[in-house]
Amino acid sequence: MYQKISKTLIGAAAVAALLGSAATAQDMRAWNIHSDGHPNTAAMDRFAELVAENTGGAVTVEVFHGGVLGSQPDALEQVQLGAIDVGNFNLGPIGPIVQEANLVSLPFIFRDVPHMFRVLDGEAGDIVAAGMADAGILPIAWFDAGARSFYNNTGPINSPDDVAGMRIRVMNNDLFTGMVDAMGGNGTPLAFSEVYTSLRTGVVDGAENNFPSFLNVAHYEVAGYYSLSEHLIIPECICINTGVFNGLSEEVQAQVVAAAEEAALYQRELWAVASEAARAEVEAAGVVVNMIEDKGPFQAAMAPVYEEYLAANPDMAELVAIAQATE
């Protein structure tokens, strides 16, 4: 008798659990521009694993690597619409959508990567995150993306004058075209996926990125001079559609955030190793990497970029001041 009841109960409980999970299970689609071998790809796979683990399968994440769900500007729009749930995004292309996010796209705004993280972890970071959340792109963890430097197929860049006359590919953001134009170059926004061919066929003379991306998409094969200008230190996020996130129970929200934070810690560890390794690998392949002893002239050349930007966006002055005053 007992046995019969308990069997029935167990059966009923199992059916209820199945129904329950079918009713609440949420399958998320995740965007990632990078391919195998890039640290962010491993970190996004880890994020998916951790989400499944932490939520006991109530939420699953399928990561689409290699930008197959679209270019970064398109994917950001898809996240806003909820057609893509989550992804690893660079804050550069978020600037045209979220004014506050442009803080991190001002050339030389940060002294180094630790300074960038201190700003993100402080009041300015809260303001940036709130602006992004309002636009439907909620950051739940921050990735390290090192510093971006110029590379080209003509010769080493040592001063802003060396950039004059060069057509340089930039990410989609007027601040970046303005940055190159301020040195007398021609800033050219192109999708990441088009850069290799554009360099090879001479549509552009150069581009700018960090070492892991320069290596991963083989730009080093078609641009043999990498000059350590380190003009942009832009963080990346795991960002999720705000409405999708708000639709989760508080418990599941905490589990998803914990997964993102752990994946971000993993990403930062991988990043440190990958940056060194990528530099060594491109140098071994023949790329000439040059230090720029004095970055002062590059910084000075950015004065009109700041002036024009702040004249057009006076609301941003306070945020810029907070970042600059952050120790």
Residues near ligand BDP (CB under 6 A)? 33, 72, 90, 145, 171, 192, 209-210, 213, 236
The distance of Cα 218 from the centroid of its chain, to the nearest Å, equals 19
CA-to-CA separations, 318 to 124, 130, 194, 218, in angstroms, rounded: 9, 15, 36, 40
Burial class from Cβ neighbours inside 10 Å (0-12, 13-18, 19+) for residue 57 reads exposed
Q: Are 292 and 282 in contact (CB under 8 A)?
A: no
d(CA 145, CA 311): 29
**Which is nearer to ligand BDP, 54 or 185 (by Cβ)?**
185
Q: Which is nearer to ligand BDP, 55 or 216 (CB)?
A: 216
Q: How far is the CB of 236 from ligand BDP (least distance, A)?
A: 6
Take residue 162 and report the two structure tokens written for it: 């060396």
Residue whose CB is less far from ligand BDP, 117 or 310:
117
Identify which of residues 55 and 267 has a Cβ nearer to ligand BDP in the complex: 267
Q: At its nearest, how many Å lie between ligand BDP and the CB of residue 112?
A: 17
- d(Cα 205, Cα 291) in Å, to the nearest integer? 20
Q: How far is the CB of 297 from ligand BDP (least distance, A)?
A: 24
Nearer to ligand BDP, 157 or 252 (CB): 157
H/E segment holding residue 119: helix 113-121
**Pair 103, 173: CB distance under 8 Å:** no
Measured from the CB of residue 147, what is the shortest distance to ligand BDP in angstroms? 11
Minimum CB separation of residue 89 from ligand BDP in Å reads 7
